[in-house]
Amino acid sequence: MFLLAMPAIAQQAVEPPKEKPSVEQTAPRPPEIQAVETAIRKSDFADARRKALALLDGKFAKRDPKAAAYAAYLLAQSDMYAENWKDLYDTLFKRADTVIRNLDQRRADEFGLLLADAAGRTGRVDEQDRLLDLHVETVARRSGEDSEAAFNARVDAAYSQLTAKRPEIAEKRLFATLNAMELVGRADLFFNTVGQAGENFRRFAGADTAQRIFQRGLDSKLMETDTGPGKGFLMFNVGVFLCGDKNYDEAIKFGYQALTVLADHFGMGSVEVLNAYDGLAQTMHAAGQLASAEAAYQYIYENGLKSLGEDNADLWRIMNNRAAVLRSLKLPAAALEFDKYAYDKRYKAFGGGANDTVISAMNMAHDLFEAERWKDAKAALASIGRIVAQPGFNPNYRRQTERWQAYAQYRLGERKFSKKEIQSRDTTQFTDGADIEQSLSFLGLYADEAEKMGRNEDAEAYREHAVATAREQLGEAHPMTFEAELLLARLQQKADAKAAIDTYRKLDAVMFDWARSSVSASGSLRAGQAVRILADDMLGSLAEFATRNSDAAELFASALDNWKTLTRGTERQLRVEAETISDPQLRDLIRAYFSDFGRFREIVTATLYTEALAPQRQAMEDARKALNAELEKRGGAPVQPWIKSAIEETGPVARPAQGDVIVDLAVVSEWPADRGGSPSKYRIFAAISRADASAEVVEVDAFDPRDGKAEPTSGFIEKLAKIVGEAAKGAKALYVIPTDFLYPLDFAELRSTGGKRLGELVDVHIATSRQAYQFRAKEDRPSAGDGILLAGGLAYNDDGSTYLPGSRDEVEKIAAIARGKNLVVRVAEGKDGSEAAMRAATGGKAILHFSTHGFFMPGEGLSARLMNAGFELSGAKLSDEPTETDDDNIVYARELLSWNLRASQLVVISACDTALGDIGVTSTVRGLPLALSVAGTRRTLLTVEKVDDAATVQFMARFYENLLGGDLSYADAFVKTKRDAWAGQIDGFPAALTSAYILFEH
């Protein structure tokens, strides 16, 4: 059976030591033999040699020659482990014939190979070749020249020459063996040999030799003719080799090819495929593609549980490797969950001293350090230290454990650095030979201690060293590098603001590109959460700096707009072109690309990509290619694929016009050290922009959601009203860009202490981005001849008896107003407003108005799929499990992503809770506002709470009267309608209800 050679690519605590072949137990063994076996198991090879030697001659050998031969075999194995090749040869060569004659066939073959190894490693090359030729001839005579045993004997002979530092001779012998295998069509054996030989030759002869071996396999005619799984295993091993050579793109390509072959042969739930998928995920991890690796592990874990069961050693290894990815994503609480599970299972199965159990324990200590649980980490290390101090454990275990123990002592204050040690800037006692996680931990420790001593220059040197180390080993786009750079920027704020701003600017650019092109395309919700936390750390630090530095304030304002929209500069420029160009064809191509791109991005941001999404991905690519073809005709630069775009530093955002003020709000979460559960604090900042002044950043408030204050309190509302009111003084119009839980807030209703509503003092508008403000005047009012679709009085059951009476009155009143202004009106009532009919009818309409039932269902799973919000149409069929189909006549937010609303200037969902949504992990609130914007509409009029059916009729009728009768823009008509309500001028509509309705500019 083939074995997948999987080196420890994942960032695990330690590399496992080489496993020793088990000493086969055949009872009964003489006590003297058992004593030798016990010494070998304890790795006390000197004792094993002494005891075995005593059994080779004398009374024991005469009494039981077969047991004496077995003692010689054990002595050879013990000397091999201890690498006592000279002693092995000198002691056993002259006894070889007697020993081999009294051993069983398998052990006799192994003993002969060990003698050949010893001859080669002690410089007796002619003797080695003689012994190897004899071994090969013996096996071929016994089993047949073309047998698997004979071919394996030839391969073993090549390995013996290889380990004796004779790579050229070994390579020739190997290639001759491969040629013979190919000639007789032994495909499985051929591919298996190539895979294992490539790795072995890489270790002992270098990458060039390994590459020749792998290329020999790939060039074989068996790659074309064989229908078995062998070539899949070969492709996997080629991928592992390329990963070790840091050729990650090619490694991942081979990994996917291997998966395809193995899945076709064994099935997706097989251990072979899951192990291959694990190897691919580890390659992604090594390549820094952490989001893709975590998405892969989510799939592997779920399928592994189903097919292998939870009591499976392969699954435990996969869980440890997944934890390593989560730790790299800076999610130690999540990593600890998987590491502890694997540890508990391994402890129960293998015991606390087993190699695999120790690996899980060491990984748990890593997680505890990342979570800043110093005491728990120290306690875990104490147990590990006692185990790895025993003979036979890899010395790397001991060294790594000792370093971590020292780290814990410093963090707990049990040890302290002297001033001289900090000034030396020498960390080699802890970082030489350490892995990247330990190195960065100690560099951070030294920097922290330097800052405590007030030695900021030394601290900066340590921080810069950490950044350089992270970049060199992990690359720029990695959470560990981000963390190192953020710590450097925070330190630079104290003495060199310009340097700090430069560091923030570069950090923001790389982190944003990583989040947008890698994480947002992965479909991993955990990776999305990691991005949210990393962005919160960076933006929170920058915002605090921006409250006292105007240049930092400008950077924060532009970075904030990027993160809230996940839009980069090249896409902003595309929208500028779409809004300003006179060519309708190019404009439509740009907007079509934005819709298809936005739809695919929003789906895969939080749900795993599968082949079911291939049509959406293809639509995005088709739209991009069509756009590029037109751009090429005009000499324009092509739009790059989403996940391959170049890194761009953030540029200036749209400035307000004279008389306007923009208040862009940010909710920045502070997270506990373990990154688990919920934020420990919400901090709210306002980035205020005016036409003739630098940006200003103000901290509005902060509160702890763990105290039951997850929603804005009255005290917070008062602070927000005061800051926004101060910003709006002297302005004609205030544009608020909300975020997170501030989306449902009606800013026009805010009152500073006992005063008037803000909307009575200034025109208050809600925009979803800076570009929404920039192009607010585009198509800002309907014209004669424009189409309007009105759906109301819809029959929710088959006989038409259940409908909202007020909704019929609503659309009929609006229809009368619209016809009076020469709009082309289509009304859907009763059974005419099915989902399929309404989807088809939206095309080309300037206004879409749905008066019906709406809903919002909070929940992570529904939010990830954008099935958490929607509205009902004719014949609506409610279900416990929402699905994407027109047959249910329920329009979910996810379905709206595929509606073509690019011609619509305004979409009104006159129903309950239609503006509500869940807070997204990387972008804005996930619900109807997001979906309608992606689908292409410029504006939406939605509700943030339950609304009264009869009162809504009056409010909406007055809105359309103001819009069509007063030649006002949509935004101005909405402002006027609210003021009419506040003044008591809308019959049947209480002023208190106005806060339910919000108009968003997209």
Tokens of 554: 């400008």
What's the pLDDT at 569?
A: 82
What's the pLDDT at 709?
A: 54
For residues 1001 and 787, what is the distance between their CA atoms, to the nearest angstrom? 20
Q: Which of 319, 307, 232 is nearest to 281 (CA)?
A: 319
Concatenated DSSP letters for 813-866?
A: HHHHHHHHTT-EEEEEEETT--HHHHHHHTTT-SEEEEES-EEE---HHHHHHT
**Sign of the dihedral defined by the CA atoms of residues 275, 277, 278, 280, in that order:** positive
Q: Which of 138, 141, 144 is nearest to 156 (CA)?
A: 138
For residues 71 and 35, what is the distance between their CA atoms, to the nearest angstrom? 10
For residues 513 and 566, what is the distance between their CA atoms, to the nearest angstrom? 9
956 and 765 Cβ atoms separated by less than 8 Å: no
Tokens of 175: 């290639």
What's the pLDDT at 710?
A: 54
Average confidence (pLDDT) per 10 residues, the chain, 1002 residues: 31 32 56 93 89 93 94 95 94 94 94 96 96 95 95 96 95 97 95 95 94 96 94 95 93 94 92 94 93 92 92 95 96 97 95 90 96 96 88 82 96 96 96 94 97 96 98 94 98 96 97 82 80 94 97 95 86 91 93 91 73 85 94 89 79 88 95 91 95 94 70 81 94 95 92 84 95 95 96 86 86 96 96 96 96 88 82 90 90 94 97 86 75 95 91 96 92 97 95 95 95
263 and 225 Cβ atoms separated by less than 8 Å: no
What's the pLDDT at 9?
A: 25
How far is the CA of 624 from the CAs of 595, 611, 631, 930, 1002, in angstroms?
11, 20, 10, 21, 22
Could you tell me if residue 874 is left (phi over 0), alpha (psi between -120 and 50 degrees) or otherwise beta?
beta
What's the pLDDT at 786?
A: 97
What's the pLDDT at 1?
A: 27
Alpha-helical (H) ranges within 609-734 are 614-633, 714-728
649 and 568 Cβ atoms separated by less than 8 Å: no
Radius of gyration of the chain (CA): 35
241 and 198 Cβ atoms separated by less than 8 Å: yes
For residues 839 and 892, what is the distance between their CA atoms, to the nearest angstrom? 12
Q: How does DSSP classify residue 612? A: G
For residues 97 and 117, what is the distance between their CA atoms, to the nearest angstrom? 17
393 and 430 Cβ atoms separated by less than 8 Å: no
Q: Which of 947, 865, 863 is nearest to 908 (CA)?
A: 947
Contacts of 707 (CB under 8 A, 6+ apart): none
